[in-house]
């Protein structure tokens, strides 16, 4: 799929299969600080996977701007962030940007095999990293509806 990036005039332009967002900071902000995981509401468990013999739960909450936040938990503690919040990048309600590099790379096929997500094929360049744009399946969106409604109201 063809990606887009902000041109000099502020409009979207095509660039291979990666979308570049104008003025995007290095992950996740220019100070290099990691934003906290969403904690303003209890997470909703979506499923479970096993990685290297360790059971991990797939959980969802919302970022402060109402977008879906995905993360993996191990023994009730946050193990890995799966989705990244880029507020200046427009997403549909059922889309999320996911971190599939570094320590999350081996989990990519396992997460897709759950059937909870679909890879759209689009990539978004944010600073020095590239995030994947994934779509949440209708079944997941139905389960997340109360969570999303609570965060928007």
Give the model confidence (pLDDT) of 3-17 as tens digits: 433 333 333 333 333
In whole angstroms, give the CA distance from residue 98 to residue 121: 12
Its domain, for residue 148, covers 4-24+39-152
Does residue 19 sit within a domain? yes
Does residue 71 sit within a domain? yes
Confidence (pTM): 0.71
Does residue 29 sit within a domain? no
Q: How many domains is the chain built from?
A: 1
Does residue 79 sit within a domain? yes
60, 68 Cβ separation under 8 angstroms: yes
55, 43 Cβ separation under 8 angstroms: no
Helix H or strand E segment including 130: strand 129-136
Average pLDDT over residues 44-66: 89
Strand pairing partners for 4? 14
Q: Which two tokens stand for residue 66?
A: 């109402």
Give the model confidence (pLDDT) of 113-137 as tens digits: 999 999 999 999 998 999 999 999 9
Please state, for a pLDDT cut of 70, what percent of the chain lies above it: 70
């Amino acid at each position: 799929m063809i990606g887009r990036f902000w041109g000099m005039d502020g409009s979207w332009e095509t660039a291979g299969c990666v979308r570049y967002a104008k003025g995007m900071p290095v992950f996740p902000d220019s100070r290099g600080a990691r934003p906290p995981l969403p904690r303003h509401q209890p997470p909703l468990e979506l499923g479970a996977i096993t990685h290297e013999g360790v059971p991990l739960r797939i959980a969802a909450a919302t970022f402060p701007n109402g977008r879906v936040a995905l993360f993996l938990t191990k023994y009730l503690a946050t193990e890995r962030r799966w989705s990244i919040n880029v507020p200046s990048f427009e997403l549909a309600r059922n889309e999320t940007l996911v971190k599939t590099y570094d320590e999350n790379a081996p989990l990519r096929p396992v997460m897709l095999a759950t059937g909870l997500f679909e890879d759209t094929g689009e990539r978004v360049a944010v600073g020095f990293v590239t995030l994947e744009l994934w779509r949440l399946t209708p079944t997941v969106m139905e389960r997340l509806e109360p969570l999303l409604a609570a965060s928007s109201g």
